[in-house]
Amino acid sequence: GIDMIAGPSEILVYAEGQNNAEWLAMDLLSQAEHDTVAQAIFITPDEQLLNAVEQAIEMHLATLPKAEIARTSIANRGALVLVKDRQEASDLINQVAPEHLMLCLDDAEAMSDSIRHAGAIFMGRYTPEAIGDYCAGPNHVLPTSGTARFSSPLGVYDFQKRSSLIMCSQEGVKTLAKTADILAQQENLDAHAQSARYRYQS
């Protein structure tokens, strides 16, 4: 909601297949340049790509205006992770529950089915996180610090108030009231139990 934990910035990039290591490195740095406690994680089953991304990060840091901030962020909170397969990657992603998740592969939609916890998911190689920051459309106030496990991006529902509506028919209440009666007795809440009992004994 509007009072969610916001920050530090996070990005997790998963890549497999044909990818440009320089693009991926810059995607990671796009969050690392925010501040020294931002988090940038790269996951891949391709060791050659992982090494190429590591080299590209160093190359970009040589010219990036906020290189000092980004370098500290990468050193303190960054990670390059080699996984055995996509399933292991999905498990790790769901554990991290990143603010921003980039899925850089041919069938990003298929992989997204296994992702349960992420603030925003950027699908495919041509969808950088920066698009979400500035012009993609969906609200970009996102859960951070692992709160994507139980929280969602800010949306219209956060500005609306709702009520639960419950209505039982004379016949329908008899089943539910018996259940409520039993549970209330277990909690030693006699008035609760009797209130329910009146309905199914009438």
Residues 141 and 186 in one domain: no
Closest to 102 measured CA to CA, from 55, 41, 160: 41
Choosing from 99, 117, 129, 140, which is the catalytic residue? 99
Cis, peptide link before residue 138, omega less than 30° from 0: no
Cβ atoms of 154 and 4 within 8 Å: the answer is yes
Q: What is the spatial distance between Cα 160 and Cα 172, in angstroms, rounded to a whole number?
A: 31
Choosing from 33, 34, 100, 129, which is the catalytic residue? 100
Look at residue 2 in the predicted model and tell me its pLDDT: 64
In a domain, 154, yes or no: yes
Q: Is 109 a catalytic residue?
A: no
Look at residue 130 in the predicted model and tell me its pLDDT: 95
CATH of the domain at 60: 3.40.50.1980
Residues 155 and 176 in one domain: no
Look at residue 14 in the predicted model and tell me its pLDDT: 99
Q: Is 99 a catalytic residue?
A: yes
Look at residue 140 in the predicted model and tell me its pLDDT: 84
**Mean pLDDT, to the nearest integer, of 38-60?**
98
In a domain, 3, yes or no: no
Amino acid at 191: A
**Mean pLDDT, to the nearest integer, of 137-164?**
89
In a domain, 164, yes or no: no
In a domain, 165, yes or no: no
- If one compares 4 and 83, the residue with the highest pLDDT of the two is 83
Residues 111 and 179 in one domain: no
Look at residue 101 in the predicted model and tell me its pLDDT: 98
Q: What is the spatial distance between Cα 197 and Cα 31, in angstroms, rounded to a whole number?
A: 59
In a domain, 5, yes or no: no
DSSP assignments along 128-174, one per residue: -HHHHHHTSSS------TTGGGT-----GGGG----------TTHHH
Look at residue 137 in the predicted model and tell me its pLDDT: 82
Counting the structural domains of the chain, the total is 2
Q: Given pLDDT bands bounded at 50, 70 and 90, which one contains residue 157?
A: confident
In a domain, 1, yes or no: no
5 has a pLDDT exceeding 80: no
Look at residue 1 in the predicted model and tell me its pLDDT: 58
Alpha-carbon distances, residue 28 vs 42, 82, 187, 195 (angstroms): 8, 16, 53, 59
In a domain, 4, yes or no: no
**Residue 13, strand partner residues:** 42, 102
Task: Quote the tokens at residue 105.
Answer: 């592969």
DSSP 8-state secondary structure symbol assigned to residue 9: -
Mean residue pLDDT across the chain = 95
Domain extent, residue 196, equals 172-201
**Mean pLDDT, to the nearest integer, of 176-184?**
96
65 has a pLDDT exceeding 80: yes
Phi-psi region of 106 (alpha: psi -120 to 50; beta: other; left: phi over 0): alpha
Residues 136 and 184 in one domain: no
